[in-house]
Each structure stands twice: as C-alpha cells, then as structure tokens.
C-alpha cells in the first residue's frame, strides 16, 4: 500500500471480530476524556493557585487538555467506522495531529520561559496534595490505558489509535516526573525543585510534539504495510 498516508479514504480488509474491538476502543477513549478532565481540573487548579503555583502541575494539566482533544478526534474516527464500516478519511487525523504538535511546542516554550523566570527569581513553590495524588494515580492508570490501546490498534490496524496510545505513555512519564518533583519538594524543600522538574517535562513535550507534527506514527505504519 504505497499511498497509505494520503488524505484519501482507507479501506481495511474485513475482520469478523473487528466490531467488538472498535467498541472497546470507543469506551477507552471516553474513559480517557473522563480521566483527563479530572487530571486537567486538579492539576491546572493546583498549578495556578497562589499557595501551590507549581509549574510541573500546570504543564501536566495543559498536556491533559491536549490529550482530551486527541481522544475527541479518535472518538469521531471510531464513530465513523461504527456507522459507515471500514472506510474513513485520514485528513482530519493528520490535521489534528499537527495541531496537537503545535500546541505541545507552545506549551514547551511556555514551561521553559516560566522555569527560567522562577529560577532567576530564586523562589520556589509550595507542595500540593491534590496534584500529587492525581499524578500518583495517573501512573498505573496510563500504563493500563496505553497497553489496551496499543493491543487494539495492532489488531485493527489503526495508526491514529496507536499514536493516541503513545500519548498515554507520555502522560505516564509526565506523571512520574510530577510525583518525583513534588515528593522532593515536600521532603527537601529546595526552592529550585519545581523549576528543574518542569524543565525535565520539556523534553517529553518536545519529543511528543515533533512526532505529532512530522507524522512519524503514520510513516512507521506505511513502512510496515
């Protein structure tokens, strides 16, 4: 299949057991939206308050918003297949991927600038229990979610679902960074912990943004076809 990344319709070979997998993926995406809503509200709420004001939490919450948008695109794509069968357009998927990549670049630039300002100012932020708990719960949740999405993506041949699963993997790593940063902040109280921890998140944001913008997931599937 030489034109697999073109924005034209893609017709997959029929599979008797495909419909239950599509429905499971549909449920997983709705779960993603529900959890990312909680994650975003708690993390951003803690990140912008005067008492907490954590850069890592704010970046974590904004990344959750981006993942909600991605899940919404996947719900549309899965709904089209449930309604119309194994024929769907990939143009919207590619455009949404590029938009998501651009948003991640903007977020990375913001985090870098804010972290530099906080480090230059020489003042840190306070610990947030709600942010810590939601990030801690997100680590196993995102691992399970990513594993299920990858398994289904391989069975139904969906590049979009696999890319969405990679975002869940990234969210798991971001959760780990948030937990480690807030824990170090709680136990050691070093003023620079939040700024340095937020800079650690930038690497993940740039990596995910580059892959989304360049469409590496699409190209990888093309090479395997």
What does pTM read for this prediction?
A: 0.73
* Residue 224's pLDDT band (cuts 50, 70, 90): very low
pLDDT tens column, 9-45: 444 444 567 788 988 999 999 999 999 999 999 988 8
Phi/psi region, residue 53 (left: phi>0; alpha: psi -120 to 50; beta: rest), is left
Mean pLDDT confidence for 184-195: 75
Q: In sequence order, what are the residues at sequence separation of 6 or more whose Cβ sits closer than 8 angstroms to the Cβ of residue 109?
A: none
CATH code of the domain made up of 18-224: 1.20.1510
Contact 96, 160 (CB under 8 A): no
Question: Average pLDDT over the chain, rounded to whole?
Answer: 77
Q: What is the pLDDT of residue 12?
A: 47
């Amino acid at each position: 299949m030489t034109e697999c990344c073109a924005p034209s319709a893609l017709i997959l070979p029929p599979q008797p057991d495909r419909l239950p997998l599509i429905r499971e993926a549909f449920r997983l995406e709705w779960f993603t939206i529900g959890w990312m809503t909680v994650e975003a509200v708690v993390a951003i709420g803690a990140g912008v308050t005067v008492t907490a004001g954590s850069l890592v939490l704010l970046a974590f919450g904004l990344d959750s918003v981006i993942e909600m948008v991605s899940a919404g695109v996947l719900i549309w794509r899965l709904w089209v297949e449930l309604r119309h069968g194994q024929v769907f357009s990939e143009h919207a998927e590619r455009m949404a991927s590029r938009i998501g990549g651009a948003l991640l670049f903007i977020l990375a630039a913001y985090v870098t600038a804010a972290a530099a300002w906080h480090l230059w100012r020489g003042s840190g932020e306070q610990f947030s229990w709600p942010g810590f708990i939601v990030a801690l719960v997100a680590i196993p949740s995102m691992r399970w979610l990513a594993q299920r999405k990858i398994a289904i993506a391989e069975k139904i041949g969906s590049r979009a679902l696999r890319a969405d699963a990679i975002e869940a993997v990234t969210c798991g790593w971001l959760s780990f960074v948030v937990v480690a940063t807030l824990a170090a902040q709680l136990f050691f109280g070093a003023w620079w912990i939040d700024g340095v921890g937020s800079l650690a998140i930038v690497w993940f944001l740039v990596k995910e943004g580059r892959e989304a913008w360049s469409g590496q997931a699409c190209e990888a599937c093309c090479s395997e076809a």
